[in-house]
Chains A and B, each alone.
Chain A
Amino acid sequence: MNLKLHVWRQSGPNDAGAMKEYVAKNVNPHMSFLEMLDVVNEELQSKGEEAIAFDHDCREGICGMCSMVINGLPHGGHRGVTTCQLHMRHFNDGDEIWIEPWRAKAFPVIKDLVVDRSAFDRIIQKGGFVSVNTGGAPDANALPIPKKEADQAFEAAACIGCGACVAACKNGSAMLFVGAKASHLGHTPQGDVERFDRARAMTMQMDAEGFGTCSNLSQCEAVCPKTISVKVIAELNRDLLKAQFKGK
């Protein structure tokens, strides 16, 4: 199939950038979205033009590097799917596709579709860890954790830190990401000890990075490739309130 692409091109952080049109010819419907772009890039390079820069690594939906807003939806908006796992069979011959980077003040564009997500790293540095050395992996069931708690920790731990939640949110809020990290650690006995300090430190850094506030729109939950629930946001809110009013 043949497609018309509108792609954000920006040569560097200080360039103004603009949408540019490309034609993608003979696209195989079994290709992933990134493979389609690889083909476009090969053609661009053969013509001596600069390839479209985009982030990617694992290409199997686990690393969280791929990051594109496709027709107004982060990762293209298919439930539980990252851009690298999105297949061209979801598009039709002759379709026009708009491809843009994550848009947020805290995620400045480095080049084309590549944004700098180190704001997330700095939030993690403030509390996304357990402070004491807990040793190697313990024997299974040496430390009993109720099934319900373990499930909640696992659900939240599925977050790959891609930033689609920020890209989707009308307010550019990072609450789903921060909530997922806090919930993941808070539901394990090793992480529970520091949950209140963690909630405070991580949300303060989130504010300092310039992310927006949560209006409970649930746009984040709808596009999250790991389908993380806004429950983790409520949990974070509850921890912060407890931290503030119970002096924890």
Chain B
Amino acid sequence: MSQATDAPAPTGEPLIGSLLRFFSSSIGSKVVMALTGAVLWGFLLAHLGGNLMVYFGPETYNHYAQALKGNAALLWAVRGALIAAIPLHFWAAVQSSAKNSAARPVAYAYANRSPARTAAKSMLVTGLVIAAFFVYHLAHFTWHVAHPEQVKLLPSGEVDVYSMLVNGFSVWWISAIYVVAQLLLAQHLSHGIYSLFQHLGLYGASWTPFLKRASLAIGYGLCAAFISIPVAVLLGVVKLP
């Protein structure tokens, strides 16, 4: 009647084997998700900090962009972290989502009303849309293939990142793509920040309720700051000199 499956007994196996087994367990894959989520979150903070320099005008912003491009070690450290974190995060998401849908083969006739935030229940969907956006964003600003006509060069021969940004966001539907993606990212982070602490076993009766609210505030705050950039361009606050 029931599947009396027995988990294999843990033995004195070598470290690498025990790590692999841990990371493919239900809790281990959430630890992967939490650690890579934290890396991605950290990246977003730094990325936001850099891009808010657009408000200081073309010189400052282009200077930041060139400094970044000029610092190959930093650039590749960041890219390396992303190249490692994104596929791991994706793998853990797919693996645990597959386990979850297998865990309830027969659905309820009356929809499950057990309360949970919609943002929390739609992490996979928001995550996948963010992944698609990420590719578009790279094609736009990093590889210059999505809208190559927006790319102008400075007298020094370097790319004029400031004018590329202003030209890009002056097109309303390109701005709309960025705004929608950021709203979904806000949803993802508003649950993710709280969730990653919980997955790492970090709970405190005194501060977890605060963390939950902070997770909402940081998720939405971070994305509102990002969204302000295309909006500022559309409103003419950030414009070509």
Contacts and interface: CB of A to CB of B under 8 A. Distances in A.
A195 B36 CA distance: 27
Contact of A100 (B27, B31, B109): B109
A219 B199 contact: no
Contacts of B180: none
Contacts of B100: 170-173, 212-213, 215
B110 A98 contact: yes
B116 interface: yes
Interface string A166-191: 00111111000000000000000000
Given A106-B103, A216-B194, A73 B2 contact: no
Interface stretch (B135-143, B151-159, B200-208): B200-208
Contact of B103 (A13, A210, A238): A210
Interface string B102-114: 1111111111111
A73 B114 contact: yes
Interface in A210-235: 210-220, 222-223, 230-231, 233-235
B99 A213 contact: yes
Interface string A184-207: 000000000000000011011111
B108 A100 contact: yes
Contact of A215 (B27, B109, B123, B208): B123
A8 interface: yes
B19 A71 contact: no
B101 to A, nearest CB: 8
B33 to A, nearest CB: 9
Interface stretch (B4-12, B55-63, B69-77, B170-178): B4-12
Contacts, number: 176
Interface in B78-119: 96, 99-100, 102-117
B109 A19 contact: yes
Contact of B113 (A77, A204, A239, A244): A77
B200 A237 contact: yes
Contact of A105 (B28, B104, B107, B123): B104
Interface string A150-172: 00000000000000000011111
A72 B111 contact: yes
A23 B29 CA distance: 47
A241 interface: yes
B104 A168 contact: no
Nearest to B22: A244
A116 B103 contact: no
Contacts of B126: none
A201 B99 CA distance: 19
A74 B19 CA distance: 36
B26 A207 contact: yes
A248 B108 CA distance: 41
B198 A216 contact: yes
A66 interface: no
13 contacts: A118-B2, A169-B114, A171-B100, A203-B25, A207-B26, A208-B7, A210-B3, A213-B29, A214-B27, A214-B199, A216-B191, A234-B203, A240-B22
Interface of B: 1-8, 10, 18-19, 22, 25-31, 96, 99-100, 102-117, 120-121, 123, 191, 194-195, 198-203, 205, 208
Interface of A: 6, 8, 13, 19, 69, 71-74, 77, 98, 100, 103-106, 108, 110, 116, 118-119, 122, 126, 168-173, 200-201, 203-220, 222-223, 230-231, 233-241, 244
Given A103-B107, A236-B27, A237-B27, 18 more contacts: A6-B109, A72-B111, A72-B113, A74-B114, A77-B114, A100-B108, A106-B2, A110-B1, A126-B7, A171-B99, A205-B6, A212-B99, A214-B26, A215-B96, A222-B114, A238-B201, A238-B202, A240-B201
